[in-house]
A and B are shown apart, each in its own frame.
Chain A
Amino acid sequence: MSPSPASVANANSASDFRGMAAQMAVLPLHEVGPAGPGAAVAALGFALGLAATWAAPAGLVWAGEETVFAEEGAPYPPGLAAFGLDPARLIVVRAKKRDEALWAAEQALGAGALVICALGASRKPLELKASRRLLLFAEKHNTRCLLLKQADGASAAWTRWSVAPAPSRAHDLELGAPAYEATLARRRAGPAGARFILEWNAHDRAFAERFQENREPVFRQEAQP
């Protein structure tokens, strides 16, 4: 498999996910969305994984809309613990409306917390102003925000990820580690289009890129828009 043009273009800075994640860790706002129907939990897992790899001295706040919790299930403390997050250090805010969730996220960013803001599907795309506010709050208080929502409208986020679940790579009868196919759909500072197959290691709290048998990274060509 020859490297795709997109991956070559990325090669200088973020040819592997580790480099990419290191870049992301210092940028204030990122957006994560499901790649298709039924991928919302994968997007959530990817976002939680990113949050778990980043330092959060003031704690982690997960501000979600009630509709998201109804649709995808409510966060489950034993599951979070298994995923590598201490549920006792996480504050979950169940907001009734989108405005409330955004407000709670802004307040939490203002307090210096790392924030995951999960928004439900809506007919109206999120205004640019709203994501811009999150960006500014995160920037000002030197923290980061992960915005979890459907891809729609303009956004102030530095990167936008489109995440789908990846098939497990384990013995027939077992489920392996959580695996995601994460596509960098948009990037403010640099070319987008790179696609990573990632496995979450809950024990090490780290993403590992999945390589094929010949140790080549799995890059697949993204259809260029």
Chain B
Amino acid sequence: MTDEARWLALFLPRLATDRLKRAAPTLRDERALALYDKIGNAFELTAVDAGASKAGLRAGMPLADARAILPALTVFEADAEEDARALNAIAAWCERYSPVVVLDAPYGLFLDITGCAHLFGGEAELRAGMLERLAAQGFTARAAIAPTPGAAWALARFAKEEASIIPPLPCGEGKRGDVLAALTRLPVEALRLDPEAAALVKRLGLKTIGQFAAAPSISLSARAGEHASLRLAQALGHAREALTPRRPHPPVTALRRFLEPLFNVDTMLIATQALCGDIVAKLDRRGGGALRLCLHLYGVDGRDRTIEIGVSRPERDAKAMLRLFREKLNLAAENLNAEFGIEAARLDVVQLQRVEATARTLAAVEEVAGGAENIASLVDVLSARLGPARVLRGKLNDAHAPERAGGWRSVLNASLIACGGGAGEEGRTNNCAVESSNSTQMPSTLALGSRPLPPSASPQGRGGEVLRRPLTLFARAQPIEALATVPDGPPVRFRWRRVQREVVRAEGPERIAGDWLRGEPTRDYYRIEDNEGRRYWLYREGLYGEAQEPRWFMHGLFA
């Protein structure tokens, strides 16, 4: 532990019953409430509320005994998953105090409040405010602040209210003694020992942490004893302790708390502007730019509203960030539900990228002149307002299946969006084969009319180029009724969108074998022109003999 670290341990002794009472307000009037679970072969209480506790009930007591003591007891079956969910929700709520929140299941949390307390008027005020708000939301809670997680944990559970903060000391020399002094009268269980280790230490006659610390550690050579020594060392700050935060610590973060809750978007934007300024100052120090930013707006009602923006190149300009947040905030204004106000806001850089300062090359100057810079910020603005999945750039894939031959990617996150209804995944390119991709290879009898194709009629021969792929593709190929004169030939007329269309010209077939792995049938594609010059991309699904009855589909339109 570094000397300046400050940890807050939160203990929610009645989380399980408080959670039930919050969910069902009628339960609040119950005199005594307890939860039970089947442990081994017996029903045992797992949690009791204050009323039940006053009557002498304890967790671990058999349900039958509890009923005998308190016949009016209301019991419910325990649900550890719901408890975990409630704890997680509280942890999310606690992120308004610090970005580093560690879950300490089943009933506790750790918050790394190093450098955070001054935003809330000091550690005592932070702790008091937190407990007050939790109480207002119906949670019984205890909290303690200490230089180590272990010490804070011990104080939160076993110390008296007035001794719940171990103040930081300027010099490291006296500090450890101070932690020990605060913990010395607490029972050894306060060291987060597992039950067997606690039993061992107690059997040795060491009841308090003070006695335990004074005992020569050599005498505790048993395995459980080693565990106990480690816990003591961690509590006192002699040994390091690795805690995993609930979510990864954002590389750069800025937090602002407001004297008065904010109600309207304009004031929130002013706050966001300030946060963007803070973030940019920190980014400059780290020589990085933000790729993704997340703004948390913590409401007085206990809810956390998050607004996330992404940019296409590392951003270190507060104005540009603010512009994107303005779009999002204006759009989300009615969904913010900020009628109770926003009391704090935090801006995290979720993704950071190094920005190398480079000299402006000639190419870069040309890029600027060409407006590439503008396009990058245009993409950011469009993506922020419409969503990244709606601002797309095309991509050609090396695949034969028409649905997979081209796709659209979000410009911002480069995630693939399917262009057709078919699967949009890449990497499965080698499983479709073209058996006949050139119209000139087909037997002439299959074509409409009987004149064989002149050998000189290569498409490039006549100035205009024949387009083999349609300009637009339907998300799902649309079934059509088609009539073909010969079984393997193009249709002579077909009905699409309730209109009968006469085929004047047809090119094909272009046979595209289906993906055998997916069990797709073979398709014969035709390029069709009708009597009014409209052009279509049709296909017949299934070969004669392969499928019972071939079906025709409209897949795309040529311009």
Contacts and interface: CB of A to CB of B under 8 A. Distances in A.
A74 B464 contact: no
A174 B507 contact: yes
Interface in A121-136: none
Contact of B475 (A45, A57, A74, A199): A74
B371 A59 contact: yes
Interface string A142-181: 0000000000000000000000111110111111111101
B187 interface: no
A165 B533 contact: yes
Contacts of B507: 173-175
B312 to A, nearest CB: 11
B396 A111 contact: no
Contacts of B527: 175
A165 B469 CA distance: 17
Interface SS, A side: mixed
B421 to A, nearest CB: 10
Interface in B339-376: 369-372, 374-375
Interface in B315-333: none
A107 B382 CA distance: 8
Interface string B454-469: 1001011011111111
B52 to A, nearest CB: 54
Provide the main secondary structure of the chain B interface: mixed
Given A42-B559, A91-B391, A111-B377, A80 B386 contact: no
Interface string B36-53: 000000000000000000
A108 interface: yes
B467 A202 contact: yes
Interface in A180-197: 181
A143 to B, nearest CB: 9
A87 B529 CA distance: 25
Interface stretch (B11-19, B246-254, B445-453): B445-453
B393 interface: yes
Contacts of A8: none
Contacts of B375: 58-59, 91, 111, 113
A45 to B, nearest CB: 2
A76 B465 contact: no
A82 B371 contact: no
A79 B407 contact: no
A86 B185 CA distance: 76
A167 B504 contact: yes
A167 to B, nearest CB: 4
B260 interface: no
Contact of A171 (B393, B407, B457, B460): B457
Interface string B488-511: 000000000001000011110000
Instruction: Give the interface size class of chain B.
Output: 35 or more
A201 B464 CA distance: 5
Nearest to A57: B370
B462 A170 contact: yes
B451 A173 contact: yes
Interface stretch (A13-21, A23-31, A93-101, A211-219): A93-101
Contact of B419 (A74, A90, A177, A199): A74
B408 interface: yes
Contacts of B559: 41-42, 44-46, 48, 83, 178, 200
B395 interface: yes
Contact of B386 (A69, A79, A93, A111): A93
A202 B393 contact: no
B420 A167 contact: no
A174 B381 CA distance: 45
A44 B393 contact: no
B63 to A, nearest CB: 56
A80 B471 contact: yes
B464 A200 contact: yes
Given A165-B533, A172-B505, A41 B467 contact: no
A39 interface: yes
A5 interface: no
A209 to B, nearest CB: 12
Interface of A: 38-39, 41-42, 44-46, 48, 57-59, 61, 69-70, 72-83, 87-88, 90-96, 100, 103-104, 107-108, 110-113, 164-168, 170-179, 181, 199-203, 208
5 contacts: A48-B559, A77-B396, A113-B375, A175-B507, A176-B466
Given A75-B394, A93-B386, 8 more contacts: A41-B534, A78-B469, A92-B391, A112-B374, A113-B378, A165-B535, A171-B457, A178-B559
Interface of B: 369-372, 374-375, 377-379, 381-382, 385-386, 390-396, 402, 405-408, 411, 419-420, 439, 447-449, 451, 453-454, 457, 459-460, 462-475, 499, 504-507, 527, 529, 531-535, 556-559
